[in-house]
Structure 1
Amino acid sequence: MTEHLPAAPGPDSLIQRWAERHGIDTAQRLAQAEDLADAIAHAVTPDNTIDTYAKSWRVWERFCTSQGFPLTEGSRGALVAFVAWMLREGQQDGTGYSAATVKTHLAAATVGIRQRGHHVSKDAVAEARDALDGLAVKLLKAGERRGRGKAVAADINGLRLIARSCPPDLAGLRDKALILAGFNFASRASEPAGLLVGDVSLHPRGMVVSVLTGKTRYSVREAKIPFAQDPEVCPVRAWTAYREQLVTQHGQRWAEPKQPAFVGINRWGHVTGGMVPDSVTRAVKRISARAQVPIVWTGHSLRAGLATEGRKKGKDAVSISRQGGWAPNSREMLGYMRAADEWDDNAAAGLT
């Protein structure tokens, strides 16, 4: 009589192979370890990454429904067709996505197929990416430019304009601290929104910002921000002035470590609670527009600015990546650095 393996989570074929090699008890323990690994992976995956996977899977579902394809077959042809469909008509309104968005959905949909226990070959994914690159070039040649493009990088001149344009009231002090501090630790919009008072500490040489809500293991960091030589754009002085004014006007409870570091302030000067990522993004746009910087900044401009301005000052990739929470060889970070090099280390510069 053949003994059957009791039901266990995970792909049945994998558990059956374990049972054949090691016995049923060991196979069950290995299956439980798989459960634990899945639970840990879910726990350490940032919420915005989970949201991206879910959104991309819904795009994949719409594609498969429109084409009559099974959801679990990530074949070469299906992935290439997926890329072409997204560029052509993938959005809900029937228009095409930008190449950058297509790349994100392709990667996330591939993860989704694999997470559901089905094989997707690296060659198939590579061919779909090559197809995307080729089709994106054709769109550019045809004059189509989709998406918002790269965020304009914050720069030192812009910081000075902003510092001068912020009014001396609490909201203005908050705006100034948000921009100057955010620039100096290359913040994403989600990072100032996630900071608590206890995450920011003063130091004889400046201040330390403990970023605990980063997207990756690299972006969870302690960023050291020194006093600036120019008091007008000093993030430490701006932070101190803002926090002192907040406590003076609204009470000592706002100095408690568990309170939000950056608070929302309505038009009547009332504190509305902690800022959220969307409000940080809107604030950066509003503050830069008020200062009349040449090109209005977006929520990602502070992050781009630290890498770009740091490179102009001769900082290397290691120090920039550590401060901004990039992986050491991050393509995003290197792209910002190249943006500085294209002008400062240009073969055509100074020839005439």
Structure 2
Amino acid sequence: MTPLQEESVENPPESAPPVNPSGLVLRWAERHGIDTARRLAEAEDLADAVAKEITPDNTVDTYAKSWRVWERFCATQGLPLTEATRGALVAFAVWMLREGRQDGRGYAPSAAKTHLSATAVGLRERGQTVSKDAFAEARTALEGLAVKLLKTGERRGRGKAVAADVDGLRAIARSCPPTLTGLRDRALVLTGFHYASRASEPAGLLTGDVALHPRGLAVSVLTGKTRYSVREAKVLYAQDAEVCPVRAWVAYRAQLVAEHGEQWAAPSTPAFVGIDRWGHVTGGMGPDSVTRAVKRISQRAGVPIVWTGHSLRAGLATEGRKKGKDAVAISRQGGWAPDSREMLGYMRTADEWDDNASAGLT
């Protein structure tokens, strides 16, 4: 035991550094003195607090849900929560695919992959070591079993969201009634398509985030999901007034203020509001209500395959590709990284038909 350790155990002074299981604080104290070690420890605490503050809520929710899945696995298998061994992680992957859901069925491979990754983060946050080799083996096991499921003809999960298209936008614009709800629905879909919105993005928009410009709308989309999703999207007037997102936005906002007062023009109010069956404004829309609204709106319009909350985002990339927009322009508008696999996957959907190697051969 070092003199410092003896001092801290036998007679801890007022300025003793906080206990750190890794011994890092003790090493700092031996190198720089107790007061400096305390300041370094406080800086570490600040860094942890900042990391927690800037982590998006949906990421926090995912970590919490995945940790509950890990807890259920450990409880059913009689394993300790804090042992991230190779065998435990592989068994976790197998269990998730075979029976992990609360209804006794297996998770879709994509969901199991998310839970595995988030659980590894949760274990590390709780001071446990998760080796790269153990995690990689669990991922390999999961991916191999997922391939076997495909070979046996089993399909799980919803798959990719169907991409919104221009014909669908026209059908939706025509089907929206001239009520406040109808005007909101029309503006929600048309603007969301043009800035490639996730369901969470129109839910997070404030009135002050959407500025009218001579050429259209400047939309400040701040999701915090990635560094690319903090962006200023430009939404131009459309030549076809029926599907013009700018005109739809202006009409909706004018009707909202006319029916419910000037307070809804304040920059701090929600851009898209919830409206009950009697026409009362219930506050801002949440991500789930946006998803339900897009589904309901597309059903009402008779769109062949019902859209989801992600269809607007997929649609911008797909339709942009069809019109010859390059990947840089599409990524900038939608807040994707220029080499995003998600974006390239959407663009590939268009290329598979429009730039097909078999086209015109016979």
TM-score (norm 1): 0.95
Deviations 1:161-203 (A, max 9, x none): 1111111121111111000001111111111111111110011
Change (3 A) 1:119 1:23: farther
Structure 2 unaligned blocks of 5 or more: 9-15
SS at 1:3 equivalent: helix
* 8 Å CA contact retained: 2:17, 2:25: no
Is 1:14 the counterpart of 2:24 in the alignment?
A: yes
Out of 223, 227, 248, the residue aligned to residue 213 of structure 1 is 223
Out of 335, 339, 343, the residue aligned to residue 333 of structure 1 is 343
Aligned residue number for residue 2 of structure 1: 3
Out of 159, 164, 169, the residue aligned to residue 174 of structure 2 is 164
Aligned equivalents of 1:23, 1:114: Cα separation in 2: 29
SS at 1:323 equivalent: helix
Aligned residue number for residue 40 of structure 1: 50
Q: Size of the alignment, in residue pairs?
A: 352
Q: Superposition pairs for residues 260-271 of structure 1, below 5 Å?
A: 260-271=270-281
Deviations 1:148-170 (A, max 9, x none): 11111111111111111111121
Change (3 A) 1:315 1:74: farther
Is 1:301 the counterpart of 2:302 in the alignment?
A: no
Change (3 A) 1:209 1:10: farther
Aligned equivalents of 2:21, 2:329: Cα separation in 1: 44
Change (3 A) 1:340 1:8: farther
- Corresponding letter in the other structure for 2:161: A
SS at 2:23 equivalent: helix
Query: Quick one: percent identity of the two aligned structures?
Result: 77
SS at 2:212 equivalent: strand
Is 1:312 the counterpart of 2:322 in the alignment?
A: yes
Q: Which moved more, 1:313-322 or 1:234-243?
A: 313-322
> Bigger radius of gyration, 1 or 2?
2
- Corresponding letter in the other structure for 1:178: L
Out of 167, 177, 195, the residue aligned to residue 187 of structure 2 is 177
* 8 Å CA contact retained: 2:200, 2:287: yes
- Corresponding letter in the other structure for 2:202: P
* 8 Å CA contact retained: 2:163, 2:318: yes
Deviations 1:269-328 (A, max 9, x none): 222222111111111000000110110001111111111111222222222222112223
- Corresponding letter in the other structure for 1:290: R
Aligned equivalents of 1:334, 1:153: Cα separation in 2: 13
Aligned residue number for residue 112 of structure 2: 102
Aligned residue number for residue 112 of structure 1: 122
Is 1:80 the counterpart of 2:81 in the alignment?
A: no
Aligned residue number for residue 186 of structure 1: 196
Aligned equivalents of 2:304, 2:84: Cα separation in 1: 46
Shift of 1:102: 0.3
What is the aligned-residue RMSD (CA, Å)?
Answer: 1.7
Aligned residue number for residue 267 of structure 2: 257
TM-score (norm 2): 0.93
